[in-house]
Amino acid sequence: MKELNTRDKILRAATELFSEKPYHETSVGEIAKRAGVSKGALFHYFPSKYELARQVLLGILDAWLKRLNERLKNLTGDAKIRAVVDALFELITESPKLSRFFLEVYEESLRLGRGADWDEFYGRYLGSVSEILKNAGVANPERKTVLLGALVDGLALHHLLSGGRLFNVEDMKEEVFRILKG
């Protein structure tokens, strides 16, 4: 197996730590220690903890999109739409701490006056998913992608706050599929 470069070691350590505890309870020193690098090395690659967290989120999105595209190979139409819905709900149900981390980094971006940083994140998501929905024959794929993102963000928040007790995941997946088809 190829050895990770320093930047990737830092990203991996940050991803692990941010999944274990909240953003504001995770120090740069802890991340550097887990990565086996100095704080100076960490700051060489990432000028701030916020920028590191932002890159972690972009990496999570890119990995999710890569897995999604692999999953979609040889699928068409409704099967492709269902695969997108399934993949989004897996994020909600299998990674509830990811929802918390996403909200924490978003809050930090607003505190720092860097709300525009989300343009890159949403650009990647919207571009990729709307293209998938378009290829699956969904009408108005750009609008439906925005709607899908809003639905999933809201459901993720409710799932996080309720400990998964607020809604039946399979019923909700079916409802989201119906909305995309309508």
pLDDT digits (tens, 9 = 90+) for 3-50: 679 999 999 999 999 999 999 999 999 999 999 999 999 999 999 999
pLDDT bin (cut points 50, 70, 90) of residue 158 is: confident
Domains along the chain? Answer: 1-47 (1.10.10.60), 54-181 (1.10.357.10)
> Which residues fall within 8 angstroms of residue 129, CB to CB, at 6 or more apart?
84, 145, 148, 149
Between CA 128 and CA 35 the distance in angstroms is 31
Cα of 72 vs its chain's centroid, Å = 18
pLDDT above 90: residue 87: yes
Q: What is the pTM of this model?
A: 0.87
**Element containing residue 99 per DSSP (H, E):** helix 96-111
> Which residues fall within 8 angstroms of residue 165, CB to CB, at 6 or more apart?
none
Residue 116 identity: A
